[in-house]
């Protein structure tokens, strides 16, 4: 449920925006991953990128992004992909367990029905 009252709006400095744009231009990084790492909405970062292209956001772009954040963001992307894969495998295994359990339950019900018949046939065959 949304909170009552005014929404919080953040103002970012021009330097922060330009640094974010520079970081998002690294070829191995996705815009969404950079936005998540900087705790901003991807749409906002895309808007800043457009503003830089259009020339409305001007300034000297930092020469190079520090290697630490780019490497950490790349590692974060790899971990997120790995997590998504493991989550899919986990869901698939849960479905397989449910399927096997339901088949086992059906099999055990049918074997209990046929057990008395086998016993009655066996006793009838022994008396004859």
Dump pLDDT digits (tens) for 2-37: 566 666 667 888 888 888 888 888 777 788 888 888
In total, how many domains does the chain have?
1
Range of the domain at 41: 14-115
Instruction: Confirm whether 36 is domain-assigned.
Output: yes
Long-range contacts at 7-14 (CB < 8 A, ≥ 24 apart): 12/40, 14/57, 14/59
Give the span between the Cα atoms of 79 and 85, in whole angstroms: 10
- Does some domain include residue 68? yes
Residue found under tokens 């449920």:
1
Q: With a threshold of 0.85, does the pTM exceed it?
A: no
Identify whether 2 is part of a domain.
no
Evaluate whether residue 9 is within a structural domain.
no
- Distance in angstroms (rounded) separating the CA atoms of residues 92 and 52: 44
pLDDT tens profile 42-78: 999 999 999 888 888 877 655 555 556 777 877 888 8
């Amino acid at each position: 449920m949304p909170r009552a009252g005014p929404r919080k709006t953040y103002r970012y400095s021009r330097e922060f925006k330009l640094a974010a744009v520079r970081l998002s231009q690294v070829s191995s990084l996705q815009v969404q991953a950079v936005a998540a790492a900087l705790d901003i909405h991807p749409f906002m970062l895309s808007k800043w990128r457009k503003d830089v292209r259009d020339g409305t956001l001007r300034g000297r772009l930092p020469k190079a992004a520090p290697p630490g954040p780019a490497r950490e963001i790349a590692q974060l992307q790899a971990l997120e992909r790995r997590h998504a894969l493991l989550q899919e495998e986990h869901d698939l295994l849960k479905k397989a367990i449910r399927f096997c359990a339901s088949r086992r339950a059906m099999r055990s019900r049918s074997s209990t029905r046929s057990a008395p018949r086998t016993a009655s046939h066996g006793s009838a065959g022994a008396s004859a």
